[in-house]
Amino acid sequence: MNHRTLFVAIALATSLVGSLAGAQEGAVASLPPSLSALPAVEAPADAALAALTRENALLQEKLKALESCSISSGALAAKNGKRLKEVAADIRAQRQGLTDFEGYVKWMSANIAAYSKYISAGSVAAGFAKVLPIPYAGQASVFTKFVSNAALSLSAASVSINKYLAISQQFVARVDALDLAKESSSREVSELVRFADHDLLKGMVEVQEKLASTSELSASSLSFLESLNHYIGSTDEYWAKTKSLLKNDDKKEKSFLAESTTALRNRAAGFNAKFRLFDETVKKDAPLIKSLVAYDELIHELDPKFAKAK
């Protein structure tokens, strides 16, 4: 080997050693300018690991977000408990009017028999008193049936009111005794939700229907009595045609009819005003109770303890 060849070999070896020694500072810097601009090429395993690391970081962020907005079965039960107390406040207000409804129904039951003689007499007069609002074609038998059905309707209303008074009292007492701070309250809340749906709401709607029927009955009776009272104020023909049915003297009958009409008008107005308040409460609380049921079902799905008890 000549001296020139030996010199070149030594230079190449020196250059290679220098490149290896400087690899930690960056092999790219020793490349020509045109190559140093290219990105570093990762090995396939390194690229996959980096991708998994990034995906794991994203999943961790999503889990933290879900944890921050999630709600536990206990928290849902507490919300249901607070809403039960709102419903109980409405029921307590309802109960104040129920005794008035019961009194009105009893009063109507006592007076419907007294009105019946005017209704029966009115059916006789229907043939000539065309102005009277008699929707029963002037048939005495139908009027008798009306009075009989009215008595049955009022009796059914009284039964429903008394039944609901007992159910609502039980509900209010249990909600008042509910302590949401206790761990065992979740179970009691669930039981109260089911009681509200199965018993309280059913009784409430039944009373609503019976009171609506009572209101319609009152309106029909009042319409007849007012028209009859107006009619006999301008003619004695009604009395002449119906004396055999009324039997008492005209003055007493006219006075009683006028007093009965006024009393029914006043009491019916008070009844209807309170019934509207009751009706509004039912429309407010019925969907609220149904929402409590939906939340309770969700609690049973979330909590294994409730799922077993379901």
- What is the rounded distance in angstroms from the CA atom of residue 116 to the CA atom of residue 144? 7
DSSP string covering 252-298 = HHHHHHHHHHHHHHHHHHHHHHHHHHHHHHHHHHHHHHHHHHHHHHH
- Report if residue 35 sits inside a domain: no
Query: What CATH number is given to the structural domain containing 110?
Result: 1.20.1170
Give residue 122's pLDDT: 60
- Report if residue 139 sits inside a domain: yes
On the 0-12 / 13-18 / 19+ scale of CB atoms within 10 A, 30 is: middle
Does the predicted TM-score (pTM) go above 0.75? no
From residue 278, give the alpha-carbon distance in Å to each of 39, 150, 209, 264, 273: 78, 22, 11, 20, 9
Give residue 13's pLDDT: 41
Retrieve residue 174's tokens: 């249990």
- Report if residue 40 sits inside a domain: no
- Report if residue 25 sits inside a domain: no
Give me the torsion for CA of 78, 81, 82, 85, rounded to 10°: -170
Q: What is the CA radius of gyration of the chain?
A: 43
- Report if residue 91 sits inside a domain: yes
Of the CA atoms within 13 Å of residue 86, those in its CB half-sphere come to 13
For the chain, what is the domain count? 1
- Report if residue 263 sits inside a domain: yes
Low-confidence ranges of the chain (pLDDT < 70): 1-45, 48, 62-71, 119-144, 233-253, 303-310
Give residue 142's pLDDT: 55
| 289 touches 198 (CB < 8 A) | no
Helices assigned H by DSSP within the chain: 3-21, 23-26, 33-36, 44-69, 73-125, 140-176, 185-195, 201-232, 237-246, 250-302, 304-309
Give residue 255's pLDDT: 76
Beta carbons within 8 Å of 169's beta carbon, 6+ residues apart? 95
Opening angle at CA 77, ends 76 and 83, nearest 5: 90
- Report if residue 30 sits inside a domain: no
- What is the rounded distance in angstroms from the CA atom of residue 194 to the CA atom of residue 306? 13
- What is the rounded distance in angstroms from the CA atom of residue 82 to the CA atom of residue 193? 12
What are the tens digits of pLDDT across the range 93-122?
999 889 899 999 999 888 887 777 776 666
Give residue 194's pLDDT: 94
Give residue 110's pLDDT: 85
What are the tens digits of pLDDT across the range 32-72?
554 444 455 556 667 767 777 787 778 777 656 555 555 67
Domain of 178 in residue numbering reads as 74-309
- Report if residue 158 sits inside a domain: yes
